[in-house]
Amino acid sequence: MTPSSSAPSRRGVLAGAAALAATGAALSAAAAPAGAASRARPARPVVFRNVRPFGAKHPVDLTVLDGRITDERAPKGADVVDGGGRIALPALVDAHIHPDKTTWGGAWVSRKPASGIADFAAQDVELFHGQRRPVAKRAYGLMAHAVTRGTRAMRAHADIAPAYGLACVEGVAQARERLRQALDVQIVAFPQHGVVRAPGTAALLKEAARSGAVDFIGGIDPIGFDHAMDEQLDLVFGLADRYGVGVDIHLHDRDEKGLTALRAIINRTRALSLRGKVTVSHVFCLPGLSDAELAGVAADLADLDIALTTVAPNASLVLPIARLKEHGVRVGLGSDGVRDAWSPFGNADMLHRAHLLGWVEDVRLDAELTACYEAGAHGGADVMRLPRADLTPGSPADFLLVRGECLPQIVVDMPARDMVVHGGRVVARDGELT
Ligand SMILES: [Zn+2]
């Protein structure tokens, strides 16, 4: 979760152009990501007739074989789905969300004043005990809703603390299983109450990593919140090294405190040869850096292939995605908490999040609006090590169909998601799972 712009209160959330390449851009189809649910491929080929990839003027047919876009001719007997001239866009990836905390689909919760992470975490616990529906049901409701809004994959942080044991991790895992044909999910064991300051958490993190219940071990402000930088990071990185899981750490600390923690993360990633397996979320210490300072940090991040995520909380804390990409750093966009104890806001709609990214960055140009969509679609895919669903031959047939004129206009207007396709199967229509 993200505390707000003015620490320690929480974020003040408001809240490819690539034409379809005729020839198959080689897919960097990295191996299946850790923890991504295996998807059932449709047995039959499918042709999506009369669709306009990225808002192309002239409609085309998209043919799907074995869950992937192909430029081969559709075989006889293929299923046919009429796209009605709608725009086809890559499905979206939520690189940072907390489905275990949500009240989505339940009664309205009136929030109480809170100041600082410890207060919010205590209210999480109250909410956990006060909800009639268990985590599995609440998380499923939110994750299913995300699918209907065009999300193909998400990295789900689930609280792990003595107050819950492994209940949140297990609940999110149950929701993942129910949605495995529609959504790829990675689970992070997130020590929201601190690793060192909440005794018993270390043992739970170890159990989660050892048992294979999670794909990533999380961490949280090792200096500003846990007050035990080396102890927390040694433990988190030690578990990742020993059990072969990734690391995804919440880092809200700013200025020198944040940079000190970030350097410690970089050093451990290098020392343990965990290149490509580490993500840092929020990273509020980066947006205020000068170009030269950012270049120095980004060089290390790129060298060790450390990914970052942002939830675009506001103009001063959103990560400088374009500049980081220039340095070769993977950056994903995410929802963060949705209608939970921390905030009444959020909706797990990544098109809306792409819109918010454009809003907080005050963008105007078509290329900038398109980049916001790409952050919501490809940024998270890069972070989760999923092949990009860019509608080129060989790419996963994960796309959404909407009515509209062109991609920049869609980012602004956020039209209804008329159809959502995952692995070539229609998984949602008109806002409902099929
Ligand atoms: Zn978070």
DSSP per residue over 319-376, as a string? Answer: --HHHHHHTT--EEE--B--SSSS-S-----HHHHHHHHHHHTT--SHHHHHHHHHII
Cα of 417 vs centre of ligand 1, distance in Å, is 26
Cα of 21 vs centre of ligand 1, distance in Å, is 36
Dump pLDDT digits (tens) for 308-336.
Answer: 999 999 999 999 999 999 999 999 999 99
Query: Which option is the CATH number for 92-384: 3.20.20.140, 3.40.50.1980, 3.40.50.920, 3.90.25.10?
Result: 3.20.20.140
Cα of 194 vs centre of ligand 1, distance in Å, is 13
Quote the strand ranges of 151-274, DSSP E.
Answer: 151-159, 184-190, 216-220, 246-251
Cα of 336 vs centre of ligand 1, distance in Å, is 5
Closest of 327, 335, 420 to residue 91, by C-alpha: 420
The CATH number assigned to the domain with range 46-91+392-433 reads 2.30.40.10
Residues 368, 99, 2, 308, CA torsion sign: negative
Parts of the chain belonging to CATH 2.30.40.10? 46-91+392-433
Cα of 96 vs centre of ligand 1, distance in Å, is 6
Cα of 160 vs centre of ligand 1, distance in Å, is 13
Cα of 277 vs centre of ligand 1, distance in Å, is 18
Cα of 281 vs centre of ligand 1, distance in Å, is 7
- At residue 24, the pLDDT reads 30
Cα of 337 vs centre of ligand 1, distance in Å, is 6
- At residue 414, the pLDDT reads 98
Cα of 198 vs centre of ligand 1, distance in Å, is 18
- Copy the structure tokens of residue 401: 């169909």
Cα of 395 vs centre of ligand 1, distance in Å, is 29
Cα of 311 vs centre of ligand 1, distance in Å, is 9
Cα of 113 vs centre of ligand 1, distance in Å, is 19
Cα of 379 vs centre of ligand 1, distance in Å, is 17
The CA distance from 92 to 420, in Å, is: 10
Cα of 370 vs centre of ligand 1, distance in Å, is 25
Cα of 105 vs centre of ligand 1, distance in Å, is 20
Give me the phi and psi of 23, to 5 degrees please. -105, 155
Cα of 284 vs centre of ligand 1, distance in Å, is 13
- CB-based contacts of 253: which residues, under 8 Å, 6+ apart? 221, 223, 224, 225, 261, 284, 285
| Phi-psi region at 74: left, alpha or beta (left = phi > 0; alpha = psi -120 to 50) | beta
Cα of 250 vs centre of ligand 1, distance in Å, is 6
Cα of 151 vs centre of ligand 1, distance in Å, is 18
Cα of 356 vs centre of ligand 1, distance in Å, is 17
Cα of 38 vs centre of ligand 1, distance in Å, is 25
Cα of 243 vs centre of ligand 1, distance in Å, is 23
Cα of 47 vs centre of ligand 1, distance in Å, is 39
CB 155 within 8 A of CB 188: yes
- At residue 40, the pLDDT reads 53
- At residue 44, the pLDDT reads 85
Helix H, strand E, coil C: the string for 241-265 is HHHCCEEEEEECCCHHHHHHHHHHH
Cα of 159 vs centre of ligand 1, distance in Å, is 10
Cα of 188 vs centre of ligand 1, distance in Å, is 10
Low-confidence ranges of the chain (pLDDT < 50): 1-38
Cα of 9 vs centre of ligand 1, distance in Å, is 14
The CA distance from 323 to 79, in Å, is: 44
Quote the strand ranges of 98-203, DSSP E.
Answer: 151-159, 184-190
Cα of 252 vs centre of ligand 1, distance in Å, is 10
Parts of the chain belonging to CATH 3.20.20.140? 92-384
